[in-house]
């Protein structure tokens, strides 16, 4: 009973009260027999096995998110230069500042221990993690775009 992270992000930005309500219902659901059965299925593996799977999943997901954002940023920069739009070096500088700002915003805006539960499965924690990763992908895109624009004009 976990809604999509995009939907949670939408509620965070447009209707925080609705996110609170949904989170409270999710919290109540987490104590139902169905939710406990799901949790027990996950806990049937050893802690070490679950941890290794989680680490591998996080590393793999992060890797592909970074690769994807870099590829899209490089392609966007090459298309910008190829189309002959004006001032690619100025736009490169601006996109570099935007990328750095977004990465710093993600780093400084991430909430940690103050909302952390034992397993990190509450909706606010899921939204927090999603926003953090999304901002990192966007920031990486802008940095790749900046490099592509700078190097694209030199070719």
Q: What is the DSSP string of 121-152?
A: -SHHHHHHHHHHHHHHHHHHHHHHHHHHHHHH
**Cβ within 8 Å of residue 46, ≥6 positions away:** none
Dist CA 139 CA 98 (whole Å): 7
Q: Would you state the structure tokens that stand for residue 60, as one six-digit string?
A: 């793999």
Closest CA to 76 of 136, 139, 146, 133: 146
Q: What is the pLDDT of residue 1?
A: 61
The position carrying tokens 């939710």 is 35
pLDDT digits (tens, 9 = 90+) for 108-153: 888 777 777 767 778 888 888 899 999 999 999 999 999 999 887 6
Instruction: Please indicate, yes or no, whether the overall pTM of this predicted structure exceeds 0.85.
Output: no
The position carrying tokens 């601006």 is 94
């Amino acid at each position: 009973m976990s809604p999509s992270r995009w939907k949670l992000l939408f509620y965070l930005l447009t209707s925080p009260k609705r996110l609170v309500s949904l989170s409270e219902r999710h919290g109540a659901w987490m104590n139902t027999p169905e939710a406990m059965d799901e949790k027990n299925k996950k806990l049937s593996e050893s802690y070490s096995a679950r941890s290794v799977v989680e680490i591998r999943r996080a590393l793999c997901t992060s890797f592909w998110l970074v690769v994807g954002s870099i590829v899209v940023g490089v392609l966007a920069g090459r298309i910008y230069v190829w189309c002959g739009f004006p001032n690619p070096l100025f736009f490169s500088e601006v996109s570099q500042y935007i990328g750095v700002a977004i990465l710093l915003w993600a780093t400084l805006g991430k909430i940690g221990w103050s909302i952390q539960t034992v397993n990190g499965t509450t909706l606010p924690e899921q939204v927090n993690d999603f926003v953090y990763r999304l901002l990192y992908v966007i920031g990486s895109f802008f940095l790749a775009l900046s490099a592509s624009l700078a190097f694209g004009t030199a070719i």
